[in-house]
Structure 1
Amino acid sequence: MASAGVVNIRRDVDDKFYRYKMPILVTKIEGRGNGIKTVLSNMSDVARALSRPPSYPAKYFGGELGALTSMDEPNDKYIVNGAHDNARLRDLLDGFIDKFVLCGSCKNPETDLFLTKTEDIFRDCKACGAQTGVDMRQKLTTWIIRNPPKRTKKKKTAENAENAGEGKEGEDGDKGGEGSDDDEFTKRIKAEAAELPTAEQAAASGVAGLSLDDEGSDEGGDSPLEALTLWIEENKSKDDGAGLTPQTIMDKTAELGIEGKHKTVQTLVESLFTENVMTELKKYMPVFQKAIGSEDEKNQRNQKSLLGGLERLVGVNYPQLVPVVPKILMEFYQNDVLEEDIIVQWGTHVSKKYVGKDVSKKVRKAAEPMLKWFEEAEDEESE
């Protein structure tokens, strides 16, 4: 058994000489009624033992529990809304460790996370040298992409990482090869991670001044998106979302300085819709009509981001919705939000930009009735 207050990182390993230890997760329930919350008292200490930012496991808890997560990194405070049993959180921590810490090959926890240029996430094992992919269907992957890990040491070449992403997904990457791009790739990741402000820094500087540029660079732009997501989740839980109207949503995006930005559209799709999407579509359709623009000047980039958000909504968050993809597309099409050319182009080109390749194929496969309908309509017009 481990010493008091400490356990093996892999709790399935019953070996007192196992070298990889972490503090036992300590939690505390505070408040009452609607204000009840679970404080993760030593989240930073646990995360440090796992060589991960404390926001990663904290966000993982919130995603798995369907609860809002409050994080104040400068003051080392991490909170999950609601009352959650300590044993349940420890089990969830085991799940986080298995998915985002342990090497997929040798199950050693001595790994670093890194992102490829295609925004796939890999674990780089210091013990066996394997680079194994993370399941991109996990909800936490979105947070990691927006808040990339800092590279702590020189990694294998960027080309090898790309080959691993394009080859056997989830398997070991190619360990061979040499190249000079490694340093540049590492520097770029570090620079991008360092430039991302925390939510607190954003609040201090005024989030309305932060925006996403038109080329898709998120420099300084993730805090407003996160603020928008949290705002939507909070208002969903108040009076059955009565205060969450198209006008209040558009006012909020304007207040945050991200109105009309393509990543805002993706965030809205993922945040506003649930398994009741067909009912919710009618309520929130004006938001997307406004974001896409007028008939004469529709924003194609925003349409593509909407489809990317749809991929994540049905492919990751609510897989049970995959069969209704044609109905969702039809609603957007008939309300002049999505154009035929954009839907057809998306439906016939598999992409790993938003989800894993297998999920991307699955969602597009479900959309085939819509594509066939377009094709038949075109044939009739030709005749």
Structure 2
Amino acid sequence: MASVNVRRDIADPFYRYKMERIQSKVEGKGNGIKTVIVNLSNVAHQLARPPNYVIKYFGFELGAQTNIDPKDDRWIINGAHEASKLQDHLDGFIAKFVLCKDCKNPETVIVAKDGDIILDCKACGQRTHADLRQKLSSFILKNAPKKGKKDKSTKKADRKAKREAEKNGTLDDGDDNSGSGNGNGDSGSDHAQEDDGDYAVDGGSDDELTRKINSEAKNLAESEQKDVEWSVDMSEEAIKARANALGDDLKSTLVIDENGDAAEDNEGSGSSSYDELGKWLDAQAQEHGGITNVKDVDIYLQAQKLGIESKHRTLTVLAQTLFDDAIVKQIAPRSSMLKKMITSERHEKAFLGGLERFVGNDKPNLVASMSAILLKVYENDLVTEETLKAWAGKASKKYVDLATSRKVRKSAEKFVEWLENAESDEEESDNNGFNFAGLEYGTECYCDFTLPSTAVQEPETDCSMPCAGNSSQICGNGDRLSIYSNGGDTSKPSTNPGPPGWSFLSCYTDSSAARTLGTGMSLNGATTVASCTAACGRAGYAMAGLEYGSECYCDAMIRNSPEVATSGCDMLCAGNATEYCGGSNRIDVYSLNAATTPPTNPAAPPAGWKALGCYTDDAGARTLGTQNEGPGGYLNMTVEGCLGICQGLGDEYVEHGINEYSVFYDHLEYDLDVYSLLEHGFHSHYNSDHD
């Protein structure tokens, strides 16, 4: 099978890191049309990444549903997608989640730990961080395989990829667990096969007979072991039998619950830490006049004091004690703390079990609202789509009786139906389309809302390739992009000097152990400088800070004597890619002024486009992030066609149906709330939509 360099921007035929080209086929028709990637397992194996990471990345980039654990190794994306388009998206996956950020080699191992994703490079030894703003990052953090283990789909894919590699003669004898940089697909490996069917020169011995003997021996060993699945009888009777076989000294330390799970801590032996947390929360709710008045930080510190802040059953307790009849409105404000504590599928299931018990037993009047509750859980990224579907598909008596469990799941059917029928996370909006359009290599069209800071303008003569559909027009060149703007915001990202009434102070160092600003603030919408300062102002704080692109903190003063950071506050805001919101252990701090000036509405942008010039471009880090084929296909590309596509389709890529201008007006309303707050001595009433 044809192979290409892992980094396709490198044309060197002797580049050592190779992979197969994506092979796809389109099946079905009408609403049932789908694309099957027939060799995804092999490609993922050659990149040393689980295949479900790759297919999920494709789904996010294409806005289409995918399967992430097929039993028959058929990796499917809804809709019709060309192999060349998938190959381009694979380049993006490689750049973001495979290549070392320092040496640009693909010899990295993903380490998902403590809410961070680290790329540990075996080539240069550097440990760099993946971009947590990517949708796939959340999927990786919640679905990372346990240390030393692989999930079934990964093991199955590895076995198939290994058999295919042996059949094609591309397996490296030196590393059966081959991945990028470890011999997998290496053009200099013992059995690397070229496109014409010839074998590369053997680096150790050119004895053809020896090579064949070794290959046959491996096939024999594989055939004897490939389908062996070791298992342990986990039935209730078997678990009790194994417990009875233990010595008396061990029996006293092991408690088995009704579902066969070993109890955590001292649960099941009198009053447990979980009981103490539940009683403490009830007492705090009575003391403060309701559970909504108990602060997240106090709850987390109490769980930490009891030593159960990382235990999955803590989520069962919280699901039953954090909410009341207004649970639908209360989930979002609690989401920041809950996301910090929900770190695995087991935590997700425990949280859903707690909700099931809360609704089914404690608040039966809320059973009819189960779909609305689960929608808020899903929207706030507390539980993955896969876990929600698995929970809804089977009633269980683990948390409530079977009749109640069925009743709760019956009420959730509308949500599950919506989840299964949704073809995309994106909704339509009234946006005027992308701000930028670019043409490259005569046939390629790219669009985006912003021009990144990495874009470098080159001489106009660098863009000299005629458009395939109109030879009188210029459509970029190799690694050169002819960029056009429709008059939208063309500014590059920068530090916001401060919304009206606020002033930017500086970028400071910060850490979870000694916060520069002590109070974390949960925002209703996407994180921007305007939304964070507005939230802090409404809460009566004079200081606001933004960190890690999506975190907002408030306080009355700067604490713990932080240092002024000369760099590091360069992470784009999650809700506005034109401004910075701190960085990793770096916080941008803003101060509330004594006087405020109300903002004015922006003027409407010009209706036409204007040419900005010729810019650099790279397959691994696109200047404009969304590629479109355009009307009539690549071979009929024109400037008008590309600009028309970018103008008309931009609304399909704005998440949650909120365009730039509606977000701006939303933030304007937040700011006006602050002015009213200051003007009337903290006694004004605010729009309930922003509570």
Q: TM-score by structure 2 length?
A: 0.31
The residue aligned with 2:24 is 27
Task: Give the C-alpha shift of residue 38 in structure 1.
Answer: 0.5
Work out the CA distance in 1 between the residues paired with 2:371 and 2:374.
12
Work out the CA distance in 2 between the residues paired with 1:122 and 1:347.
32
Residue 131 (structure 2) pairs with residue 122 (structure 1): no
Structure having the higher helix fraction is 1
Report the CA distance shift for 1:377/1:138 in structure 2 as closer, same or farther (over 3 A). Answer: same
Report the CA distance shift for 1:53/1:36 in structure 2 as closer, same or farther (over 3 A). Answer: same
Residue 60 (structure 2) pairs with residue 68 (structure 1): no
Task: Give the C-alpha shift of residue 93 in structure 1.
Answer: 0.6
Task: Give the C-alpha shift of residue 35 in structure 1.
Answer: 0.4
Q: Residues 319-344 of structure 1, C-alpha deviation per residue, up to 9 Å, x if partnerless?
A: xxx69969xx99xxxxxxxx954xx7
Where in structure 2 are there 5+ consecutive unaligned residues?
150-258, 260-312, 319-337, 352-365, 385-423, 432-519, 552-569, 582-589, 591-663, 684-691
Residue 334 (structure 2) pairs with residue 220 (structure 1): no
Of 266, 281, 286, which aligns to 2:380? 266
Work out the CA distance in 1 between the residues paired with 2:530 and 2:113.
32
Structure having the higher strand fraction is 2
Alpha-carbon contact 2:142-2:345 (below 8 Å) kept: no
Alpha-carbon contact 1:71-1:77 (below 8 Å) kept: no
Task: Give the C-alpha shift of residue 370 in structure 1.
Answer: 1.9
Task: Give the C-alpha shift of residue 100 in structure 1.
Answer: 0.8
Task: Give the C-alpha shift of residue 130 in structure 1.
Answer: 1.1
Partner amino acid, structure 2, of 1:25: I
Which piece of structure 1 moves more, 366-375 or 128-137?
366-375
The residue aligned with 2:573 is 359
Report the CA distance shift for 1:84/1:377 in structure 2 as closer, same or farther (over 3 A). Answer: same
Report the CA distance shift for 1:72/1:116 in structure 2 as closer, same or farther (over 3 A). Answer: closer
Work out the CA distance in 2 between the residues paired with 1:128 and 1:346.
45
Report the CA distance shift for 1:219/1:137 in structure 2 as closer, same or farther (over 3 A). Answer: closer
Work out the CA distance in 2 between the residues paired with 1:68 and 1:92.
16
Task: Give the C-alpha shift of residue 305 in structure 1.
Answer: 6.2
Partner amino acid, structure 2, of 1:102: L
Report the CA distance shift for 1:74/1:91 in structure 2 as closer, same or farther (over 3 A). Answer: same
Work out the CA distance in 2 between the residues paired with 1:74 and 1:38.
17
3-state SS of paired residue (1:25): coil
Alpha-carbon contact 1:114-1:149 (below 8 Å) kept: no
3-state SS of paired residue (1:107): coil
Alpha-carbon contact 1:100-1:134 (below 8 Å) kept: yes
Which piece of structure 1 moves more, 120-129 or 68-77?
68-77
Percent identity of equivalent pairs: 36
Report the CA distance shift for 1:53/1:349 in structure 2 as closer, same or farther (over 3 A). Answer: same
Work out the CA distance in 2 between the residues paired with 1:18 and 1:376.
63
Work out the CA distance in 1 between the residues paired with 2:425 and 2:79.
21
Residue 131 (structure 2) pairs with residue 135 (structure 1): yes
Matches within 5 A, 1:208-357: 213=316, 214=318, 216-217=341-342, 218-222=344-348, 250-252=369-371, 259=373, 263-267=377-381, 274=427, 276=429, 307=524, 310-311=525-526, 340-341=538-539, 348-352=544-548, 357=571
Partner amino acid, structure 2, of 1:220: R
The residue aligned with 1:373 is 673
Report the aligned-residue RMSD: 4.8
Of 83, 100, 105, which aligns to 2:102? 105
The residue aligned with 1:37 is 34
Work out the CA distance in 2 between the residues paired with 1:324 and 1:248.
38
The residue aligned with 1:84 is 81
Q: Residues 9-39 of structure 1, C-alpha deviation per residue, up to 9 Å, x if partnerless?
A: 1222233332222222111111100000001
Task: Give the C-alpha shift of residue 351 in structure 1.
Answer: 4.0
Work out the CA distance in 1 between the residues paired with 2:108 and 2:14.
20
Q: Residues 258-305 of structure 1, C-alpha deviation per residue, up to 9 Å, x if partnerless?
A: x4798545139x997746499xxxxxxxxxxxxxxxxxxxxxxxx966
Structure with higher RCO (Cα < 8 A, 6+ apart): 2
Task: Give the C-alpha shift of residue 70 in structure 1.
Answer: 1.9
Partner amino acid, structure 2, of 1:103: C
Report the CA distance shift for 1:345/1:380 in structure 2 as closer, same or farther (over 3 A). Answer: closer
Residue 93 (structure 2) pairs with residue 96 (structure 1): yes
Report the CA distance shift for 1:250/1:382 in structure 2 as closer, same or farther (over 3 A). Answer: closer
Report the CA distance shift for 1:68/1:360 in structure 2 as closer, same or farther (over 3 A). Answer: closer
Task: Give the C-alpha shift of residue 131 in structure 1.
Answer: 1.5
Work out the CA distance in 1 between the residues paired with 2:350 and 2:32.
24
Task: Give the C-alpha shift of residue 47 in structure 1.
Answer: 0.7
Work out the CA distance in 1 between the residues paired with 2:675 and 2:548.
25
Work out the CA distance in 2 between the residues paired with 1:57 and 1:27.
14
The residue aligned with 1:14 is 11
Work out the CA distance in 1 between the residues paired with 2:678 and 2:549.
30
Alpha-carbon contact 2:523-2:531 (below 8 Å) kept: no
Alpha-carbon contact 1:25-1:43 (below 8 Å) kept: yes
Alpha-carbon contact 2:5-2:19 (below 8 Å) kept: yes
| Aligned residue-pair number | 253
Task: Give the C-alpha shift of residue 55 in structure 1.
Answer: 1.1
Alpha-carbon contact 2:109-2:121 (below 8 Å) kept: yes
Report the CA distance shift for 1:219/1:64 in structure 2 as closer, same or farther (over 3 A). Answer: closer
Partner amino acid, structure 1, of 2:133: R
Partner amino acid, structure 2, of 1:350: L
Alpha-carbon contact 2:38-2:75 (below 8 Å) kept: yes
Partner amino acid, structure 2, of 1:148: A
Alpha-carbon contact 1:146-1:222 (below 8 Å) kept: no
Work out the CA distance in 1 between the residues paired with 2:74 and 2:541.
45
Work out the CA distance in 2 between the residues paired with 1:305 and 1:139.
20
Partner amino acid, structure 2, of 1:108: N
Work out the CA distance in 1 between the residues paired with 2:680 and 2:142.
45
Work out the CA distance in 2 between the residues paired with 1:249 and 1:16.
63
Work out the CA distance in 1 between the residues paired with 2:428 and 2:350.
25
Report the CA distance shift for 1:136/1:382 in structure 2 as closer, same or farther (over 3 A). Answer: closer
Task: Give the C-alpha shift of residue 49 in structure 1.
Answer: 0.9
Work out the CA distance in 2 between the residues paired with 1:99 and 1:275.
28
Alpha-carbon contact 1:103-1:111 (below 8 Å) kept: yes
Task: Give the C-alpha shift of residue 44 in structure 1.
Answer: 1.4
Partner amino acid, structure 2, of 1:125: C
Larger Rg: 2
Partner amino acid, structure 1, of 2:120: D
Q: Residues 67-113 of structure 1, C-alpha deviation per residue, up to 9 Å, x if partnerless?
A: 11122244323211100011100111111111110111111001011
Where in structure 1 are there 5+ consecutive unaligned residues?
154-204, 226-246, 254-258, 279-302, 316-321, 331-338
Work out the CA distance in 1 between the residues paired with 2:132 and 2:86.
22
Q: TM-score by structure 1 length?
A: 0.53
Partner amino acid, structure 1, of 2:142: R
3-state SS of paired residue (1:70): coil
Partner amino acid, structure 2, of 1:66: G
Residue 124 (structure 2) pairs with residue 148 (structure 1): no
Work out the CA distance in 1 between the residues paired with 2:347 and 2:106.
32
Alpha-carbon contact 2:549-2:572 (below 8 Å) kept: no
Q: Residues 116-161 of structure 1, C-alpha deviation per residue, up to 9 Å, x if partnerless?
A: 42x23221110001122222332222211221255569xxxxxxxx
Work out the CA distance in 2 between the residues paired with 1:145 and 1:51.
17
Q: Residues 175-217 of structure 1, C-alpha deviation per residue, up to 9 Å, x if partnerless?
A: xxxxxxxxxxxxxxxxxxxxxxxxxxxxxx9xxxx99543533
Report the CA distance shift for 1:306/1:360 in structure 2 as closer, same or farther (over 3 A). Answer: same
Report the CA distance shift for 1:126/1:19 in structure 2 as closer, same or farther (over 3 A). Answer: same
